[in-house]
Structure 1
Amino acid sequence: MKRIVLSQPVHAEVLARLQAVAEVVMNLGPDPWTADVLAEHLRTADGWMAFMTDRIDTEVLARAPRLRAVACALKGYDNFDLAACARAGVTVSFVPDLLTEPTAELALGLAIAAGRHILDGDRRVRAGYGGWRPSLYGTGLNGSTVAVVGLGAVGRAIVDRLQGFGCARVLGVDPMQIDARTEPVDLATAFTLARHVLLAVPLTEQSFHLVDDELLAHVHQGQILVNVGRGSVVDEHAVLRALNAGRLGAYAADVYEMEDWNLPDRPDSIPEGLINHPRTTFTPHLGSAVREVRLAIEMRAADNLLAALAGRSIDNPAYVAVA
């Protein structure tokens, strides 16, 4: 019987699907296993369902001699060394589409929360609400110029949702793709003109610290910057400097540099100044955290894993090992 490792807990339906055909070892979570504990489980594993807290490199693969398939229950696989997997003959799959809509929804939620002082308002009500006062005036989407950086699936889904908000202009920034509903501009122009900038950019060598001190030196005064792509697309220290200088009005994020496990100089935490800044709004990587969506993602990953272990074709390969 095949042996499958799940490095995070999954829904009961998914677990039952896998246990019907394989021996399954599952982390009961919510914290990830240590590297040594994971390696011990992978030592005799044929398949692995991996999650956002996981990474794959040559060292991990060297300690998993039986491993033949990895199913990533996520969209982006920049934490996974596909070249190392190819050399080891390990098939890698991912789930590219099911996270799109909920991530786009969250992007707009963060933009509204940051622009309309939702967190500060919540704190004030809980501290003792005495009725309306003329305070906490913010920035709305209606009548604003909004830029969407990255017009892949998530970026286009964000543009879909912006259609109902009465934006004055929707700018699109993507050298590879055009959305007819947006005005195509370059990155510097978007940051100069837009009241809101929503980042939906994958992490690549070219996009690492795409948002840096130089770009933020010329932002539209009081701009609301939202990141739902990858943490390291943004230089978090540069964002803090722009907030402290008063150029940037607010920063909202669901993703952080500390999560980009494959980067050799990855920080181990979010900058303290950013965490404590009054004009920041953060969520703990909730892009796909909708119950029905997570179940669908896990089930798709399980089907990919079982298909790969049985030698069948898979729907969403990142890399398919050649026997």
Structure 2
Amino acid sequence: MVKIVVPNWIEDETLARLSAHGDVVTSEGRDPLADDELRAACADASALMAFMTECVDRPFLDACPKLKIIAGALKGFDNLDQRACTDARVLLTYVPNLLTEPTAELAIGLSIALARNMRAGDAHLRSGTFAGWRPNFYGGSLQGATVGIIGGGAVGRETMRLLSGFRGRRIYFDENRLDPTTEKALDAQYAPLDDLTRLSDFIILALPLTDQTKHIVNVSFLAAMKQGAYLVNPARGSLVDEAAVVEALNTGRLAGYAADTFEMEDWHRPDRPRQVHPALLACDQTVLTPHIGSAVSEVRRQIAAEAADEIIAFLSGKRPRHAVNPEVLET
């Protein structure tokens, strides 16, 4: 039988389905296979289910010559080298839709938690010094705010839709402007990036990580933001220069920063930091979550199941539904 590698924990029912089509090697616990374990497992494997914890590049593919399909249990696949996969004739698939709603939902939750000082309030309560209501921890609100969304893809649009429940203004920027019908349905206005940066009380990042978007939030971006605005990043860590954010928080230019993703997670960056910026962890004006944008039990079950469907289809001689490089199938 063929060999299938699943380097992270997934539900037993999905493992059982895969096991009907090959010998499955998987992690014993909730930690992923270590890099050396992954390479050893994939050296003679035909299929790999990949997560955010794996970095697939040319050297990896060279070491795993029997791989025929890599099914990403994710939407953003910047940690998987598409060109290298294509050159190696390895099919790459992804899960395009299931992460949209939970990620947008978290973006709204992070915005509220940040503006309402929930981290500082929680710490105060747990310190044992809470003595009842005091005129403390006053913050901002999404109500009446101008919220700028950078990115008009699925997550960006869903974030705009959820924001319609709040009284306020929604503006967005994307290289490809939405059509007028969609803008009207979302009650969102297009704005050039410079205008969005200058006008927004909240800025939510909803775009993929590319060479062009890396550190789109940098010193000059932060300097152009509205004084006392909030920045929320549920997308990709390296969209943001974390050191620049720390400086903006320290000077008061930025009222707060919330993030679910961090630069240290972007494995394909050889210069990535190896930890979350310590000053971010120490700052009271931050709300930080451990990459839980899609961490809804049923959603994660469906994501793994859909990635498994792609592997099973391929091994059964059928065409996977969400191929990133379908040209591999044509030759």
**CA shift for structure 1 position 25:** 0.6
* Counterpart in the other structure of 2:212: 206
Q: How does 1:121-200 map to 2 (within 5 A)?
A: 121-128=121-128, 129-167=130-168, 169-178=169-178, 179-180=183-184, 181-200=187-206
Letter in 1 for 2:93: S
Aligned pairs (5 A) from 1:35-114: 35-114=35-114
Deviation at 1:115, TM superposition (A): 0.4
Q: Name the counterpart of 2:278.
A: 272
Q: Cα RMSD (Å) of the superposition?
A: 1.1
- How far did 1:127 drift? 2.1
Give me the whole-angstrom Cα distance separating, in 2, the residues matched to 1:186 and 1:261. Answer: 31
Q: Which amino acid aligns with 1:45?
A: A
1:237-252 pair list within 5 angstroms: 237-252=243-258
Which of residues 212, 222, 225 in structure 2 aligns to 1:219? 225
One-letter code aligned to 1:275? L
> Aligned equivalents of 1:114 and 1:29: distance in 2?
33
Q: Distance in 2 between matches of 1:81 and 1:68?
A: 14
Please identify, of 72-81 and 170-179, the stretch whose mean Cα deviation from structure 2 is larger: 170-179
1:27 matched residue in structure 2: 27
Q: Which runs of 5+ in 2 are unaligned?
A: none
- Cα distance between partner residues in 2 of 1:21 and 1:172: 45
CA distance, structure 2, for counterparts of residue 218 and residue 82 of structure 1 = 34
- Contact 1:152–1:177 (CA under 8 A) maintained in structure 2: no
Structure 1, unpaired ranges of 5+:
none
Per-residue deviation, residues 195-249 of structure 1 (Å, max 9, x unmatched): 1111101011111111110111121111110001111111111111111111000
Contact 2:103 2:234 in 1 (8 A): yes
Deviations 1:126-168 (A, max 9, x none): 223321110000000001111111010000000010000112x
- Which residue is 1:13 aligned to? 13
Distance 1:98 1:304 in 2: 15
CA contact (8 A) 2:113 2:287 kept: yes
Q: Distance in 1 between matches of 2:88 and 2:28?
A: 28
C-alpha separation in 1, matches of 2:316 and 2:271: 38
The percentage of counterpart residues that share the same residue type is 44
- Distance (whole Å) between structure 1 residues aligned to residue 177 and residue 302 of structure 2: 28
Q: How far off is 1:186 after superposition?
A: 1.6
Question: Hey, what's the Cα distance between the residues in 1 that align with 2:87 and 2:29?
Answer: 31
SS across alignment from 1:262: coil
Q: Deviations over 1:267-308 (max 9, x none)?
A: 111111111111011001001000000000000000001112
Secondary structure at 1:130 match in 2: coil
Deviation, 1:125, is 1.7
Give aligned pairs, total. 322
User: Offset at 1:122?
Assistant: 1.3
Opposite residue 13 of structure 2, the aligned amino acid is: E
Q: Describe the superposition over 1:76-133 as per-residue Cα deviations: whole angstroms up to 9, x where unpaired.
A: 0111111111111111100010000000000000000000011111122222332111
| Residue equivalent to 1:4 | 4
Counterpart AA for 2:249: L
Runs of 4+ in 1 over 6 A off after TM superposition: none
Aligned residue for 1:188, secondary structure, equals helix
Please say if residues 223 and 248 of structure 1, whose CA atoms lie closer than 8 Å, have aligned partners that are also in contact.
yes
Q: CA deviation at 1:309?
A: 2.2
TM-score by length of 1: 0.97
Which SS does the other structure have where 1:318 is aligned? coil
1:304 is aligned, of 310, 313, 331, to 310
Residue identity opposite 2:49 in structure 1: M
Mean CA deviation greater in 145-154 or 28-37: 28-37
Task: Please list, as runs of the form range in 1=range in 2, the aligned pairs for 1:308-319 lying within 5 A after superposition.
Answer: 308-319=314-325
CA contact (8 A) 2:231 2:258 kept: yes
Would the aligned equivalents of 1:217 and 1:247 in 2 still touch at CA under 8 Å? yes
Shift of 1:34: 2.2
> How far apart, in 2, do the equivalents of 1:310 and 1:235 lie?
44
